[in-house]
């Protein structure tokens, strides 16, 4: 079994576990741009002690390369836990991240998210250079 056998995909507009990737479609080579990845843009995902998103990872695969590059790994660690019990805590994280990147090659941005109950999900978006 490979990792591709474990990853689920769907349309983020109807499936709450699929990361949404927001960035320009086209950038100049070497131009720094903002990249956002989130869950729940159209269909809300719970953030409870029992059911939550643990992390979002962003990768980039240049079109002319066999290798993938990790842009960022973002962990979410506050889901309402407390000594008073599940969902009694004062802090809940959201499932949204933002970072900046630049590339000298067109390629594919990959966002992966892990739900503690429903497993590993991904979405991709092409990045073109002008």
* Catalytic positions: 15-17, 45, 51, 115, 118
Nearest to 127 by CA among 3, 9, 30, 18: 30
**DSSP structure class, residue 49:** S
Query: Could you tell me which residues come within 8 angstroms of residue 112 by beta carbon, excluding any fewer than 6 positions away?
Result: 7, 19, 56, 57, 58, 59, 120, 121, 122
Cα–Cα distance for residue pair 23/46, rounded to 1 Å? 25
Distance CA 10, CA 2 (A): 19
């Amino acid at each position: 079994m490979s990792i591709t056998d474990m990853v689920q995909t769907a349309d983020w507009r109807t499936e709450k576990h699929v990361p949404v990737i927001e960035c320009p479609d086209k950038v100049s080579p070497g131009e720094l741009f903002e990249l956002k990845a989130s869950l729940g843009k159209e269909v809300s995902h719970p953030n409870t002690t029992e059911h939550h998103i643990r992390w979002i990872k962003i990768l980039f695969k240049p079109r002319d390369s066999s290798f993938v590059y990790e842009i960022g790994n973002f962990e979410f660690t506050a889901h309402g836990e407390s000594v008073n019990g599940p969902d009694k805590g004062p802090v809940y994280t959201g499932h949204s991240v933002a970072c900046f990147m630049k590339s000298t090659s067109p390629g594919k941005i990959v966002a992966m998210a892990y739900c503690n109950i429903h497993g590993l999900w991904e979405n991709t978006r092409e990045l073109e250079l002008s």
